[in-house]
Amino acid sequence: MGIKLASKNELQWINRQYATIGFVPSNLERDKVAIVTYEDEYAGVGRIVRINENNLEIGGIYILPAFRGKNLAYELVNFLTEETKRFKEPNVYCIPFAELQHFYKKCGFKEINLQNENIDDVVHSKYKWCVNEYEKK
């Protein structure tokens, strides 16, 4: 298993993966994208997206079906979480599908109440977009 930051040469492969699951394509000028490998094969992808000057999002975590069950998603999220420390933004968010909330808690994320927490309007808008865009809760 290995994890590396993606290069422009890999962007087409990355966006093909995201297209298969209906995720927004990545742009390496906006996103910091990581690729996880297993036995020298591309096994998955994830990214850090700068939401605005105060907030980052870890998302787009996708492990190809042939490589699931190998703890790669956990390693990828931990890698991306460490990468966020290179930024100066104080907040790192993740907007997971409902069935993945437990997984992200295991990775150190905490659930927030959108009604009671002081959340940036842009982050709240992104959450609403996700709710409307994806069939999954």
What residue numbers bound the domain in which 128 lies? 2-133
Give the total number of structural domains in the chain.
1
pLDDT in tens, the chain (137 residues): 999 999 999 999 999 999 999 999 999 999 999 999 999 999 999 999 998 888 999 999 999 999 999 999 999 999 999 999 998 878 899 988 889 999 999 999 998 887 767 787 888 888 887 888 888 88
Task: Tell me the HSE value of 100 on the side-chain side, using a 13 A CA sphere.
Answer: 16
Distance CA 37, CA 71 (A): 12
- The model's pTM: 0.90
CATH number at residue 122: 3.40.630.30
